[in-house]
């Protein structure tokens, strides 16, 4: 497939690894620091929330500064929740493919160029956190604890997991304190309020003997539609500012119901031909300061992009996703996800991607025909109206019997042709964590691609090739991109000869 000229703008994240590390976390409750140990502070969250009438699934990864030898991951959940392992590839592709891309306005010189290019997800080395040999603690002591019911106790990969339930508002606080976790005074009433509201709690920690280097993403599956992000609990361990990137996967565009949503005004967006940069980062950060640092930016909200090709708005040619470690390009996000997982060692084969063909227009409902408590007990599906979600499973990695299934789990209860991906970014101040984030369908259901045409032009170099750029990351954004696995990600997109339609639209938007 021939794709025209592209300028590659790398979002290098490895430089921001330093002493920080990333784990999966809802509310983080680390042990009290010992000696000169620095208490961990959460600096960023990266989350995926899949919503259907069947189930709600939350993937959550954090980035924090500090070096605790132990940590506890605690999340309020509806009764019936379960904990499972996720994949790094799921975050890698969603993050890179939805990052905002600034397109320069009309080239007043009328120049053009041809070439080849791709949208790339560039993968670096694994994260060098220091103290990577740290191991988990002694595990949960599940002896009797007054007022707390142990709903379930098990393991997920390197983690030991416990689901707790109680009708005593102080029970969970007591349970955590009994297990030597310091609960901040401002978090105690938050826990008690969740208990009063009827929530159970998932608690997770590294199993005895498991090292930090074995950390894997986790996901929490809850029955029914729960379009809420538990920000009150996320406040545990948070610093003065916490970067949030949330990817909502649902049948429609979702918007914050109790927070402000905003977007960069393209009339104020400048593109500099001399440097190939824009002022997107400055405009974005100004939005993050609005409303007492409680505003979400929505740079991307599109229907069907998991399984269909996306045309570049300038060339009208398909955007190509390319992963490092592979010589092939992929024009569908789902295919890139599988290849990325293969590169990561999270699946042993990419043949499952062949079964994705045609899903972009498929109106059948994806269902789970198996009992979660008895995975081998499965019933048939109606192939005229349903898709067995196991058709979207990919082979397990070598040495494991757990398939690569984030895509299948995310789409359970949904119709492939109707699925949207909406990205919401924020840099929340501490006061924002006084309430949970409630999401609701957006009243307009208007799509927003990640491409934004700048309305203002600086230093047009006549006779020079047209360039595109990804918005330059601030240190906060770059830190967010290094979450979980420490992978460096880059996104570059095909951009070449301008078509008259796009140039005209850009000119109307105020190109100079």
Give the three-class secondary structure for 384.
Answer: coil
pLDDT at 45: 83
489 in helix, strand or coil?
Answer: strand
Give domain limits for the chain.
6-431+452-508
What is the model's pLDDT at position 215?
A: 64
Distance CA 250, CA 54 (A): 12
Helix or strand or coil: residue 44? strand
pLDDT at res. 462: 64
Place of tokens 């918005």: 471
| Span 87-115, pLDDT tens digits | 989 998 999 899 999 988 765 565 543 33
Residues 6 or more apart in contact with residue 143 via CB below 8 angstroms: none
User: Which position has the token pair 């001399």?
Assistant: 274
Residues 6+ apart with CB under 8 A from 241: 43, 293, 427, 428, 429, 430, 476
Over residues 122-164, the pLDDT tens digits come to: 433 222 222 333 445 555 555 556 678 888 888 777 777 888 8
pLDDT band, residue 497 (cuts 50/70/90): very low
Which one of 5-9, 50-54, 71-75 scores highest in mean pLDDT? 50-54
**Tell me, what's the pLDDT at 321?**
85
Does pTM surpass 0.75?
Answer: yes
Across the chain, what does the average pLDDT equal?
76
Higher-pLDDT residue of 29 and 497 is 29
Can you give the pLDDT at residue 286? 97
Q: What is the dihedral sign for C-alpha 17, 21, 24, 29?
A: negative
Higher pLDDT, 195 or 161: 195
Place of tokens 């934004």: 452
Whole-number Å distance between alpha carbons of 297 and 281: 12
Q: Report whether pLDDT(500) > 50.
A: no
| Rounded CA separation 192/64 (Å) | 25
Q: What is the pLDDT of residues 215-237, one digit of tens each?
A: 677 899 999 999 999 999 888 87
In this prediction, residue 410 has a pLDDT band, given cuts at 50, 70 and 90, of: very high
Strands 27-28 and 21-23, by their bridges, are: unpaired
pLDDT top residue among 377 and 339: 339
- 277 or 180, higher pLDDT: 277
Residue with tokens 């929505």: 298
Burial of 23 (0-12, 13-18, 19+ CB in 10 A): buried
Residue 398 pLDDT more than 80?
Answer: yes
Coil/strand/helix, residue 238:
strand
CA distance readout (Å), 156 to 283, 403, 476: 41, 13, 31
Q: 234 — phi, psi (to 5°)?
A: -60, -25
334 — pLDDT class (breaks 50, 70, 90): very high
User: Quick one: pLDDT band at residue 263, thresholds 50, 70, 90?
Assistant: very high
pLDDT at site 41: 73
pLDDT surpassing 70 at residue 180:
no
At 419, give phi and psi (nearest 5°). -80, 130
What pLDDT sits at residue 2?
34
- Packing angle between helix 333-344 and helix 88-98, nearest 10 degrees? 140
Q: Report d(CA 421, CA 407) in Å as an integer.
A: 12
The CA angle 363-368-374, to the nearest 5 degrees, is 175
Lowest mean pLDDT across 146-150, 242-246, 423-427, 433-437: 146-150
H or E element that contains 336: helix 333-344
Cα 476 to its chain centre, rounded Å, is 15
Give the separation between CA 167 and CA 192, rounded to whole angstroms.
10
Share of the chain above pLDDT 70, in %: 69
What's the pLDDT score for residue 178? 82
Spell out the residues 6+ positions from residue 454 whose beta carbon is closer than 8 angstroms to its own. Answer: 102, 103, 104, 105, 266, 269, 270, 271, 278, 506, 511
């Amino acid at each position: 497939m021939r794709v025209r000229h592209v300028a590659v703008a790398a979002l290098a994240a490895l430089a921001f690894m330093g002493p920080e590390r990333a784990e999966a976390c809802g509310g983080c409750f680390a042990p009290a620091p010992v000696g000169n140990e620095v208490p961990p502070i959460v600096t960023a969250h990266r989350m995926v929330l899949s919503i259907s009438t069947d189930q709600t699934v939350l993937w959550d990864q954090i980035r924090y500064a500090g070096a605790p030898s132990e940590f506890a991951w605690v999340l309020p959940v509806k009764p019936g929740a379960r904990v499972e392992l996720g994949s790094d590839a799921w975050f890698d592709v969603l993050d890179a493919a939805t990052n905002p891309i600034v397109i320069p306005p009309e080239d007043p010189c009328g120049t053009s160029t041809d070439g080849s290019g791709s949208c790339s997800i560039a993968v670096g080395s694994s994260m060098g956190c220091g103290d990577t040999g740290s191991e988990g603690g002694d595990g949960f002591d599940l002896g009797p604890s007054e007022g707390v019911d142990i709903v379930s106790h098990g393991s997920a990969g390197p983690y030991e997991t416990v689901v707790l339930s109680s009708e005593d508002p102080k029970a969970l606080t007591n349970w955590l304190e009994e297990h030597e976790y310091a609960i901040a005074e401002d978090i105690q009433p938050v826990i008690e309020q969740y208990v009063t509201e009827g929530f159970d709690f998932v608690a997770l920690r590294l199993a005895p003997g498991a090292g930090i280097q074995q950390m894997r993403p986790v996901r929490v599956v809850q029955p029914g539609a729960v379009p809420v992000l538990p920000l009150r609990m996320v406040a545990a361990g948070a610093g003065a500012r916490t970067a949030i990137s949330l990817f909502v996967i649902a049948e429609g565009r979702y918007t914050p119901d109790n927070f402000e949503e905003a977007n960069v005004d393209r009339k104020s967006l400048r593109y500099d031909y001399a440097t190939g940069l824009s002022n997107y980062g400055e405009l974005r950060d100004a939005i993050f300061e609005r409303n007492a640092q409680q505003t979400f930016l929505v740079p991307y909200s599109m229907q069907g992009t998991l399984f269909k090709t996306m045309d570049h708005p300038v060339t009208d040619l398909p955007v190509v996703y390319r992963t490092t470690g592979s010589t092939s390009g992929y024009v569908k996000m789902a295919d890139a996800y599988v290849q990325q997982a293969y590169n990561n060692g999270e699946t042993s084969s990419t043949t499952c991607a062949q079964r994705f063909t045609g899903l972009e227009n498929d109106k059948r409902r994806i269902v789970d025909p198996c009992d979660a408590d008895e995975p081998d007990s499965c019933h048939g599906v109606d192939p005229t109206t349903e898709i067995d979600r196991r058709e979207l499973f990919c082979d397990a990695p070598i040495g494991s019997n757990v398939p690569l299934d984030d895509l299948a789990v995310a789409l359970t209860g949904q119709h492939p042709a109707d699925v949207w991906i909406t990205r919401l970014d924020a840099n929340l101040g501490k006061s924002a964590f006084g309430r949970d984030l409630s999401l609701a369908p957006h009243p307009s259901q208007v799509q927003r691609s990640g491409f934004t045409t700048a309305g203002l032009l600086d230093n047009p170099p006549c006779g020079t090739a047209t360039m595109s750029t990804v918005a330059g990351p601030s240190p906060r954004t770059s830190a967010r991109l290094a979450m979980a696995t420490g992978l460096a990600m880059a996104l570059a997109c095909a951009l070449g000869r301008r078509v008259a339609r796009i140039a005209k639209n850009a000119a109307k938007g105020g190109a100079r």
